Amino acid sequence: MAMKIKYADIIIPAAVAGTYTYAVPASLTGAVRRGSLVTVPFGQSRAVLGLVIRVHDTTPHGFEIREVQETLPAEACINDHLTDFILWISDYYLAWPGEALKAAIPSADVLPGRVVRKRKAGSATLNGTGVMAPVILTESQGKVFSSIKELFSKHEVVLLHGVTSSGKTEIYIHLIQEQIDLGKQVLYMLPEIALTAQLIERLKKYFGDTIGVFHSRLTPAARRDVWKRVSDGTLKAVLGVRSSLFLPFKELGIIIVDEEHDSSYKQYDPAPRYHARDAAMILSRIHGGRTLLGSATPSLESFYNAKEGRYGFVELKSRYGEVMMPEMIIADTRSFGRREKMVSHFTSKLIDAVGEALSKKEQIILFQNRRGFSPYLMCPDCGWVPQCTNCSVSYTYHKGIGKLVCHYCGKNTKIPSECPECGSASLSTRGFGTEKVEEEIRLLFPSATVARMDQDTTRRRSAASSILSEFAAGDTDILIGTQMISKGLDFEKLTVVGILDADNMLHFPDFRAFERSFQLMEQVSGRAGRRTRRGKVIIQTADPSHMILRQVLKHDYMTMCTTQLEERSLFGYPPFTKIIRVVIRHHNQDDLNISAARLAASLRRQLGRHVLGPEFPLVMQVQRWYIKTIMIKIDGTLSPSRVKDVIRRAIDAEMKAARQGSLRIHADVDPQ
């Protein structure tokens, strides 16, 4: 009897739907199974890396069948859990399966079995085996620890709301220890690479070599090493950013998502546009494990899920050591201005507090959520503002490099010597960014040591961690920064935090602006006075009676949640609806308008009033692409998976109808 030919359905890393079927040569039949990574010919390419989803013996018809070329070593195999996860990501986030595969395997470099060089000692892993026992939890921490475990018997997900410095991290450490003792693996997620550096020092004291770090700034060799050791189970715990969800865990007992409210958990570009917090819950479910979400300021989505009983909920209300929450002070920039008590952008309240802290050898953080020197330049005579020619936004002035820089496309240009509109000889700076704050603080406090942390000062691989470790060591008195300095940091001598421009956050045109402002202010203020000294937070604003500021003053997270949830419900925003945003881009504005209108009409025929737009976004042109967006709001009357089918088909039809080179359309599910 002739042996039947075997076929394999394979995901190809390309922008194509579904899987492709290849024949499995007899020599490979034993080695090709679900989860195998193989090379196959695809289009003009001789060999691309593919993931086998299914092996069967149904001969496909209607196209020429090509053969699988080779299989990668078994140790580079994608296990069933990860395969399921890749398929879920692709389906839920409307990404091509190949895009989801690429998120797991950005290049064959990360896979073991193709190792050219030997593993470098200590590259991604940690040296030092001196393993300490976790600290003894306080009574209230111990109670929270027990109730988390109890809640896990009824809920897959538990939300831990613990004020800043309450000891959430210590509780995580106990949970990790417990899972390791059970022989299971743990993923501990943070929203940003900079945070992993500070925390790993603390974790390796307890877990030595059994914990590893994972993020995109590791060398390929280091990544490969983590991949391999996660896969063979020698690595028990991983501290990582969102991409660590795609590591080949054998059996995850728990995923801890710290700072769960943070919008950096959402991947925007390239696809798959996944939310790592939400995806973590699915990955845990696939492993039969649990998810712990932690934050001092949980997202409204998570809080609402907890309130509705879908998640377990625990609270840790006081700081460790009964340290008081910082004193919150509002500094009104208007009245101070009138009484001429402002020195440039600083109120006298802020300057006095900084001076006092310096005299006591304490440290200060100044927060301004804009980088560069000033957000724009303006002609004082005619009002002309220099704008990027690729994007419809004004250039930011960077004094250090003496250039105008576009924060959307990175283009830079020199400063015009005169106004091209009216010939006026000087342009004036408007508003202020971190670079200007730094310059002025140095003038005001010439003997203080000042450092700045933002995208511009942290381009080098190690820059962020060295700025932070110098501050931690007390070598820096004043640290100025953007939202990069708002999170997770724990410094002993830090007592004063200044928020220089609260209004700029509050009035950002987004339905999450109030929630975000509260979170950001509460998080930055949480950095102050975490040990013995009570901290002081000075918030500068021209709108001191703003509802959100009142809530920040009292650290009143619950009232913020209740009032914001009312608003969301009233206007039909998440968590009461789900949003999918369709983004249409074109080099030609007229063609963009035509495609966007046609796509919206097609969606509207099927989804009716749930379709809003098309509209130009805040910045309507980026890197020479004109942009329009369509928003789809899914309420309880629609099935999300049906809506996704409609969107998939409508996008497909429009891409075919337009037939022009430069049209691009993608969907963003649960945009942030």
**Residue type present at position 640:** P
Q: What is the CA radius of gyration of the chain?
A: 27
Q: How far is the CB of 386 from Zn ion (least distance, A)?
A: 11
185-189: strand order across its sheet: 211-214, 237-240, 185-189, 252-258, 290-295, 157-162, 312-316
Stretch that binds ligand ADP, among 131-139, 427-435, 515-523, 627-635 (CB under 6 A): 131-139
Q: How far is the CB of 475 from ligand ADP (least distance, A)?
A: 20
Strands (E), 326-475: 327-332, 363-367, 376-378, 396-398, 403-405, 412-414, 428-430, 450-453
- Based on the shown chain and the rule CB under 6 A, indicate whether residue 315 belongs to the binding site for ligand ADP: no
Q: Which of ligand ADP, Zn ion, none does 457 bind, CB closer than 5 to 8 A by kind?
A: none
β-strand 363-367 against 478-481: which pairing, if any? parallel
Q: Report the run of H or E that residue 357 belongs to, with start and end.
A: helix 348-359
Stretch that binds ligand ADP, among 88-96, 158-166, 352-360, 476-484 (CB under 6 A): 158-166
- Based on the shown chain and the rule CB under 6 A, indicate whether residue 486 belongs to the binding site for ligand ADP: no
β-strand 664-669 against 578-586: which pairing, if any? antiparallel
How many residues line the site for ligand ADP (CB under 6 A)?
16
Whether residue 374 contacts residue 439, with contact meaning beta carbons closer than 8 Å, is answered with: no
Q: Which of Zn ion, ligand ADP, none does 490 bind, CB closer than 5 to 8 A by kind?
A: ligand ADP
- Based on the shown chain and the rule CB under 6 A, indicate whether residue 167 belongs to the binding site for ligand ADP: yes
> Residue 145 carries which DSSP code?
H
- Based on the shown chain and the rule CB under 6 A, indicate whether residue 356 belongs to the binding site for ligand ADP: no
| Alpha helices per DSSP H over 182-241 | 193-207, 220-231
Q: Report the run of H or E that residue 180 belongs to, with start and end.
A: helix 168-181
| Other Cβ atoms closer than 10 A to 672 | 18
Q: How far is the CB of 173 from ligand ADP (least distance, A)?
A: 8
> Residue 318 carries which DSSP code?
S
Structure tokens at 42: 């695809």
Whether residue 549 contacts residue 539, with contact meaning beta carbons closer than 8 Å, is answered with: yes
- Based on the shown chain and the rule CB under 5 A, indicate whether residue 70 belongs to the binding site for Zn ion: no
Given the complex with ligand ADP, which of 83 and 165 has the nearer CB atom? 165
- Of the residues 24, 137, 241, 505, which one makes contact with ligand ADP according to CB under 6 A: 137
Between CA 468 and CA 606 the distance in angstroms is 53
- Based on the shown chain and the rule CB under 5 A, indicate whether residue 382 belongs to the binding site for Zn ion: yes
- Based on the shown chain and the rule CB under 5 A, indicate whether residue 390 belongs to the binding site for Zn ion: yes
- Of the residues 164, 196, 198, 495, which one makes contact with ligand ADP according to CB under 6 A: 164
- Of the residues 97, 162, 191, 386, which one makes contact with ligand ADP according to CB under 6 A: 162
- Omega of the bond leading into 97 within 30 degrees of 0 (cis): no
| Other Cβ atoms closer than 10 A to 303 | 27
Q: Which of ligand ADP, Zn ion, none does 70 bind, CB closer than 5 to 8 A by kind?
A: none
- Of the residues 115, 356, 408, 657, which one makes contact with Zn ion according to CB under 5 A: 408
Sketch the per residue contact string, 424 through 463, with Zn ion: x for CB under 5 A, - otherwise.
Answer: x---------------------------------------
- Based on the shown chain and the rule CB under 6 A, indicate whether residue 369 belongs to the binding site for ligand ADP: no
Whether residue 658 contacts residue 591, with contact meaning beta carbons closer than 8 Å, is answered with: yes
Given the complex with ligand ADP, which of 36 and 164 has the nearer CB atom? 164
Whether residue 513 contacts residue 380, with contact meaning beta carbons closer than 8 Å, is answered with: no
- Based on the shown chain and the rule CB under 6 A, indicate whether residue 165 belongs to the binding site for ligand ADP: yes
- Of the residues 148, 357, 406, 467, which one makes contact with Zn ion according to CB under 5 A: 406
Half-sphere exposure of 203 (CA within 13 A, CB side): 29
- Of the residues 141, 244, 434, 541, which one makes contact with ligand ADP according to CB under 6 A: 141
Given the complex with Zn ion, which of 388 and 561 has the nearer CB atom? 388
- Judged by CB under 6 A, the chain residues 510 through 539 that form the site for ligand ADP are 530
Given the complex with ligand ADP, which of 303 and 397 has the nearer CB atom? 303
Given the complex with ligand ADP, which of 90 and 169 has the nearer CB atom? 169
Q: Which of ligand ADP, Zn ion, none does 162 bind, CB closer than 5 to 8 A by kind?
A: ligand ADP
Given the complex with ligand ADP, which of 469 and 623 has the nearer CB atom? 469
Query: DSSP letter string over 510-568?
Result: STTHHHHHHHHHHHHHTTSS-SSSPPEEEEEES-TT-HHHHHHHTT-HHHHHHHHHHHH
Given the complex with ligand ADP, which of 223 and 555 has the nearer CB atom? 555
Given the complex with Zn ion, which of 177 and 623 has the nearer CB atom? 623
Given the complex with ligand ADP, which of 168 and 229 has the nearer CB atom? 168
Given the complex with ligand ADP, which of 142 and 410 has the nearer CB atom? 142
- Of the residues 283, 358, 365, 388, which one makes contact with Zn ion according to CB under 5 A: 388
- Of the residues 356, 381, 543, 591, which one makes contact with Zn ion according to CB under 5 A: 381
Whether residue 37 contacts residue 81, with contact meaning beta carbons closer than 8 Å, is answered with: no
- Judged by CB under 5 A, the chain residues 72 through 131 that form the site for Zn ion are none
- Based on the shown chain and the rule CB under 5 A, indicate whether residue 419 belongs to the binding site for Zn ion: yes
509-514 long-range Cβ contacts below 8 angstroms, 24+ apart? 509/618, 511/568, 511/571, 511/573, 512/672, 514/547, 514/548, 514/560, 514/564, 514/567
- Based on the shown chain and the rule CB under 6 A, indicate whether residue 601 belongs to the binding site for ligand ADP: no
Looking up tokens 């020698």 gives: 234
Contacts of 329 (CB under 8 A, 6+ apart): 349, 353, 536, 537, 538, 539
Stretch that binds Zn ion, among 318-326, 401-409, 544-552, 639-647 (CB under 5 A): 401-409
First vs last C-alpha separation in the chain: 59
Q: Which of ligand ADP, Zn ion, none does 476 bind, CB closer than 5 to 8 A by kind?
A: none
- Based on the shown chain and the rule CB under 6 A, indicate whether residue 135 belongs to the binding site for ligand ADP: yes
3-class secondary structure, 343? strand
- Judged by CB under 6 A, the chain residues 487 through 506 that form the site for ligand ADP are 490
Q: Which of Zn ion, ligand ADP, none does 88 bind, CB closer than 5 to 8 A by kind?
A: none
Q: Which of ligand ADP, Zn ion, none does 170 bind, CB closer than 5 to 8 A by kind?
A: ligand ADP
How many residues line the site for Zn ion (CB under 5 A)?
15
Whether residue 161 contacts residue 318, with contact meaning beta carbons closer than 8 Å, is answered with: no
Give the residues lining the site for ligand ADP (CB under 6 A). 135-138, 141, 162, 164-170, 320, 490, 530
Rule CB under 5 A: which residues touch Zn ion? 379, 381-382, 384, 388, 390-391, 406, 408-409, 411, 419, 421-422, 424
